[in-house]
Structure 1
Amino acid sequence: MASTETETTTFYQNVVVMRHGDRKDNFDPTWIKTAERPWDPPLVDNGMARAFRTGRTFRTILPFQIHRVFVSPFIRCVQTASEVVAALCAVDVEANAKSSTDVIKFDPSKVKVSIECGLCEMLNKEAIRVDVAPKDGNFGFDIPLLENMFPIGTLDPSLERVYGKMPQWEETVDESRSRYKQIIKALADKYPSENLLLVTHGEGVGVSISGFLEHTTVVEVEYCGYAELKRIMTCKNGSTTAGNFLVLTKSGQSGITYFD
């Protein structure tokens, strides 16, 4: 007689939420005076190196594989993600590798990467000065051009974004924080059997702590600082149920400081 019992399986899903590397306008105050896109500063060389180094750290210390990377369309985040993905996919590198240019060979099948507008910077004057922001509120991201910055073969061209377009300029701080919490959960729910890396901005990393850890205030997120989240997933009768996210990062770890 066949058993009527249904097998239940459980596993953990992991989500890492990371800030971009060192942005140029914070190291070269004159850059903004001649920049065509003053609201969208790139990384300095040290920022690229820090991002690559962080990617190599992920390979060393994370007890799980990152399957997918989602990225804010701001160029500093795209450059950061490109360096991290190159490090994650590297098969052979120079002995003293400092950036993606030192990767001799990489395997693009290891990670898939996509741009997600919901991970963008807070679109308000608290994050982007009014005299710097585009006058019409159109930030003018060339998504195909940005996608070409990722290591060859790592882009997932079939992805349907959660946010098909940018949020409206002058969203409130509370609205942007709600957006960050919503996009973290939405991306995790969309890929429940995969571990994710989300490359975003300082406020987004802060929300990955305060949004899932009650009565918590985040006071600092360093360049390339990152938070680790995990939740238990239960599969039964072909359906997957997700538990609540647990915050694994303690204050003072991974470039994040917070208190409750």
Structure 2
Amino acid sequence: MSQIVWIARHANRLDFVNPDWFLTAQRRYDPPLSDDGIVQTKQLARRLQGEKIAHIFASPFLRTVQTANAVAEVLDLPIKLETGLSEWLNPAWMTEEPERLSTPALKELFPRIDTSYTAQIAAKYPETHEQVRARSGQTARCLAADFFPDHILLVAHGASVLGAAMGLVGEIAKTEVKASLCSLVKVVRHNPEWLLELKGDTSHLSEIEEVIRFA
């Protein structure tokens, strides 16, 4: 059976809905999901139900963990925190390395987090566009190889969704993949080749963004 790697971007984030949140937030670069984002996560979970996913990997940012948790609840799976899927640590967006909740703090909020898992790839602030694509691509290749032949889900951010897809299918992802909020990319291994089957599908969502937003 061919391996399938699903790659999802997190759902809508609170600071996209309420930009003023950023002004007083304790962790300004780690916003939670918005109310409509929570709805999107449930729609994503319903879409992936029955897809025989065996492992869920998520960026350790709050919005990606929230998105992954909705799927994990429906699929009855643990969540493995993988820093290689992190947000683009872009100094033009972030004046400092982003502060995040610790793994123990996340575990208290989301008991499905598997604290025995060790992240495979690091993400280091600051990084260029080329660097985020390289490390998220390396992450996708590493996880697919280590957990083959199981189907896996990667929950990431706009830049790392694209980078992960590029890591498997190459440069074609740069023009084909549209990483809108809570969208799905589907990559299928037909040895030795990876083929792009979904390029940012949003058919599971009741509302989609007209313009793709990034931080």
Structure 1 residues 59, 174: CA separation in 2 closer, same or farther (over 3 Å shift)? Answer: same
The amino acid of 1:170's aligned partner reads P
Contact 2:42–2:70 under 8 Å retained in 1? yes
Q: Residue 146 of structure 1 corresponds to which residue in structure 2? A: 106
Residue of 158, 178, 182 corresponding to 1:224: 182
CA contact (8 A) 2:61 2:86 kept: yes
Query: What residue is the counterpart of 1:35 in the other structure?
Result: 25
Shift of 1:246: 1.3
Partner Cα separation in structure 2 for residue 71 and residue 56 of structure 1: 18
Q: How far apart, in 1, do the equivalents of 2:171 and 2:94 lie?
A: 30
8 Å Cα contact 1:210/1:218 also seen in 2: no
Equivalent residues of 1:69, 1:112 under 8 A apart: yes
Contact (CA 8 Å) 2:62, 2:100: kept in 1 or not? no
Q: TM-score, normalised by structure 1?
A: 0.71
Note the 1:155-166 alignment, pairs <5 A: 155-163=113-121, 166=122
Bigger CA radius of gyration: 1
Question: 1:57-68, aligned counterparts within 5 Å?
Answer: 57-59=47-49, 64-68=51-55
- Match of 1:84, SS state, is helix
| RMSD, aligned α-carbons | 2.4
Counterpart check, 1:121 vs 2:81 = no
Count of residue correspondences: 203
- What's 1:12 paired with? 2
Instruction: Structure 2 unaligned segments of length 5 or more: list them.
Output: none
Q: Is residue 2:78 matched to residue 1:112?
A: yes
Q: Which of 65, 71, 78 lines up with 2:58 in the alignment?
A: 71
1:112 is displaced (CA, Å) by 2.6
Aligned to 2:44: 54
Per the TM alignment, residue 218 of structure 1 is displaced from its structure 2 partner at its CA by 4.8
Stretches of structure 1 that go unaligned for 5 or more consecutive residues are 1-10, 90-110, 233-241
CA contact (8 A) 1:12 1:230 kept: yes
Q: Cα offset for 1:39?
A: 0.8
Question: What SS class does the counterpart of residue 56 from structure 2 fall into?
Answer: strand
CA distance change for structure 1 residues 51 and 176 in 2, over 3 Å: closer, same or farther? same
Partner of 2:149: 193
Greater strand share, structure number:
1
Conserved in 2, the CA contact under 8 Å of 1:208 and 1:227? no
Q: Structure 2: how far apart are the matches of 1:207 and 1:55? A: 23
Distance in 1, Cα, partners of 2:26 & 2:176 = 33
Deviations 1:132-163, CA, capped at 9 Å, x for gaps: xx3xx36344011113333x4x4333322203
Alpha-carbon distance, 1:194 to partner: 1.4
